């Protein structure tokens, strides 16, 4: 935070004028009835303190919420709602002021672009809503788990499936990207990418991600969470040169490098360098 | 929405018990003072209606908020806060109940994994907070613009930069992925990926994305938004076979295919097929 920020951004007056103590809830304007912009000015309001208060949630309920949230509004909404709606029910305000619909954009990895898996977009946001400085430790653990987990595990009760009944082929895709995750499952299962079975698979995957998220959040808030998973091997190898402090230091990230780049023989780095530089 | 959803998810009682009319604001419990879970039950609360009410925002202010938000808490927070904090100031509740910190996880493309650019994660969430069924049209336009825009354009006043002063080299990276966006800019600028210049570049990029987002939101809410940009050429070509309705239909997405996959000579599709199947 710099002086420039304080000088130029009048929003800071929220934080300096309002007495926000850790563990207290900042309260809105108490507006009743029809919405009227003029009657709801922010001058006398303080911004919600963060992270929001957490209570232990139900893992099995998270699976159902994630699954049916997917069937209603895709993966990102499903995973976010699996956490949020339980907190709306158990805690109420301020969760009731946050609409799960705001995360719908994450469906199919971001408006259909198939970048970061939408279930992870929704789950990451849910985690960060209730976890402060340690949020990325949980998010990273979720991502590492995702890359190695053979989705889908969840199975709805017989006769109650949203898109397709029965057991589905599983695959661990090695990537957090929707594009790779779907392609890998289609390759293994032989189902079509826009078919009802693939959609069912993503619904069940959303249930699995939602459950894992709630398991981690419950453990973290009981001070029983310890990250245990490692990055893909290629990340450590490639980032020795390409990452922070490396000779090249020309990129960032923790996705498995060799899913998009050619594998490199670590016994022949000279050959790799020559190839990259056309020598 | 299915009967299964209504049967299993008690959260639905929020929506059926509360009289939520379009255009009205649902109000929280009106809790004052210290937070007490027992006193804030959701039974008598209704969930915030969505999308949230929008007022015209300041594009120049969005740049400053995005830039200094990045300097404080990275790209995703910066872009989200550039919209949210203006609405907190101009509208107040329910925006004051939503903490911008919840989007910090998106920094460096998701907890450091360099997937979807964090500025786009924050901006997409901001868009979806205030736009309903058309949200993905705006998000997609933003993504297409992002892939072709020579970042960074924004420049802080002389002597007021957060990380590094002066003009910076620009590059249009062709991708919405942080990993590709950073790598491309490092390749063009010759700066290191973890250096202050790259960080400055991402701060300015966050300002640019924030401004574009507010421009689009302002236009949309004045009924003056029309999407005009097209997908990368390879998407149309490759998805003819690999996408919906294609012979293979084995993937999803709209990222430029040839950034990660070999380019295909459309006059020699047989050769492409033989290569893929090792024939």
Residues A243 and A162 in one domain: no
Asked if pLDDT for residue B19 goes beyond 70, the answer is: no
Are residue A195 and residue A63 in the same domain, yes or no? yes
Contact in structure between A151 and A178 (CB atoms under 8 Å)? no
Ranges of residues in chain A with a pLDDT under 70 are 1-44
Question: Is B51 among the domain residues?
Answer: no
* Same-domain check for residues B30 and B69: no
- Predicted confidence at residue A279, as pLDDT, reads 77
Residue B209 corresponds to which tokens in the numbers above?
A: 């994305």
Half-sphere exposure of B243 (CA within 13 A, CB side): 15
B53 within a domain of the structure (yes/no): no
Identify the burial level of A207 via C-beta atoms within 10 angstroms of its C-beta, where 0-12 means exposed, 13-18 middle and 19 or more buried: buried
What is the average per-residue pLDDT within B133-146?
A: 98
pLDDT of amino acid B13:
40
**Mean pLDDT calculated for residue range B53-58:** 98
Helices (H) and strands (E) in chain A, counts: 9, 0
Average pLDDT over residues B224-241: 93
Q: So what's the pLDDT on residue A263?
A: 85
pLDDT in the model for residue B54? 98
Asked if residue B228 is part of any domain, the answer here is no
Last residue within a domain, chosen from B221, B241, B258: B221
Burial class (CB in 10 A: 0-12, 13-18, 19+), A115: buried
Chain B hits for A193, Cβ within 8 Å: 242-244, 249-252
Q: Are residues A269 and A247 located together in one domain of the fold?
A: yes
Rounded mean pLDDT, B234-248: 92
Say whether both A145 and A78 belong to one domain: yes
Burial classification of residue B247, based on how many CB atoms lie within 10 Å of its CB (0-12 exposed, 13-18 middle, 19 or more buried): exposed
Residue B15 has pLDDT above 70, yes or no: no
Return the pLDDT at B44: 54
For A130, nearest residue in chain B (alpha carbons): B102
CA distance A131 to B105: 10
Q: What is the mean pLDDT of chain B?
A: 86
Longest CA pairwise span in chain A (Å): 72
B14 with A192: Cβ contact below 8 A: no
pLDDT confidence of residue B273: 81
Mean pLDDT of B133-153: 98
Which residue did the predictor score with more confidence, A58 or B5? A58
Sign of CA dihedral A194, A198, A200, A206: negative
> How close B268 comes to chain A (CA, Å)?
23
pLDDT at B25 over 90: no
Q: Which pLDDT does position A44 carry in this prediction?
A: 55
Torsion angles phi and psi, residue B118, rounded to 5:
-60, -35
Same domain (yes/no): A7, A70: no
Minimal C-alpha gap between B179 and chain A (Å): 6
| A161 and A272 housed in the same domain | no
Q: What is the pLDDT of residue B114?
A: 97
- Tell me if A42 and B102 make a contact (CB, 8 A cut-off): no
Chain B residues in contact with A35 by the CB 8 A cut-off are 23-25, 53
**Domains contained in chain B, number:** 3
Asked whether residue A49 is domain-assigned, the answer is: no
User: What value does the mean pLDDT take over residues B241-269?
Assistant: 90
How far off is chain A from B84, nearest CA to CA, in Å?
10
Of B33, B47, B193, the CB nearest to A251: B193
For residues A21 and A105, state if they share a domain. no
Q: Which residue has the higher pLDDT, B18 or B106?
A: B106
Q: Is A70 part of a structural domain of the chain? A: yes
Which residues on chain B are in Cβ contact (under 8 Å) with A132?
101
Q: Average pLDDT in the B118-137 region?
A: 98
Q: B258: domain range?
A: 233-276
Q: Say if A266 falls within a structural domain.
A: yes
- pLDDT of B188 over the 70 cut: yes
Residue of B nearest to A30 (CA): B30
Query: Is A259 contained in some domain?
Result: yes
Residue A175's pLDDT is 97
Same domain assignment for residues B23 and B68: no
If you count residue pairs, one on A and one on B, with CB atoms under 8 Å apart, how many are there?
366
| Same-domain status, B237 and B183 | no
* Pair A8, A84 in one domain: no
> Does B264 score more than 60 pLDDT?
yes
What stretch of H or E contains B28? Answer: none
Closest CA to A203 of B224, B138, B4: B4
- Region B64-72: mean pLDDT is 98
Q: Do residues B15 and B144 both lie within one domain?
A: no
Please give the pLDDT value at position A94: 95
Q: Is residue A156 part of a domain?
A: yes
Stretch among B34-48, B52-66, B132-146 having the lowest mean pLDDT: B34-48
What local confidence, expressed as pLDDT, does residue A199 receive? 98
């Amino acid at each position: 935070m710099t002086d420039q920020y304080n000088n130029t951004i009048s929003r800071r007056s929220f934080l300096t004028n309002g007495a926000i103590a850790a563990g207290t809830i900042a309260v809105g304007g108490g507006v009743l009835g029809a919405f009227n912009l003029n009657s709801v000015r922010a001058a006398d309001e303080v911004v919600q303190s963060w992270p929001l208060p957490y209570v232990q949630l139900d893992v099995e309920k998270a699976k159902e919420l994630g699954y049916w949230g997917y069937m209603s509004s895709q993966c990102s909404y499903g995973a976010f709602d699996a956490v949020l709606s339980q907190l709306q029910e158990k805690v109420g305000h301020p969760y009731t002021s946050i609409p799960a619909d705001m995360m719908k954009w994450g469906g199919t990895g971001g408006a259909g672009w198939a970048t970061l898996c939408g279930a992870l977009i929704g789950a990451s946001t849910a985690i960060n809503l209730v976890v402060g400085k340690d949020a990325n430790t949980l998010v990273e653990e979720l991502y590492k788990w995702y890359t190695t987990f053979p989705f889908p595990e969840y199975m709805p009760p017989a006769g109650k499936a949203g898109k397709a009944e029965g057991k589905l082929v599983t695959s661990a895709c090695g990537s957090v990207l929707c594009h790779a995750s779907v392609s890998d499952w289609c390759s293994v299962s032989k189902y079509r990418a826009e078919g009802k079975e693939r959609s069912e698979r993503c619904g069940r995957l959303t249930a699995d991600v939602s459950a894992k998220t709630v398991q981690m959040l419950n453990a973290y808030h009981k001070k029983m969470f310890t990250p245990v998973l490692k990055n893909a091997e290629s990340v450590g190898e490639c980032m020795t040169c390409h990452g922070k402090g490396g000779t090249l230091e020309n990129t960032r990230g923790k996705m498995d490098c060799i899913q998009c780049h050619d594998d490199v023989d670590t016994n022949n780095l000279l050959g790799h360098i020559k190839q990259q530089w056309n020598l």
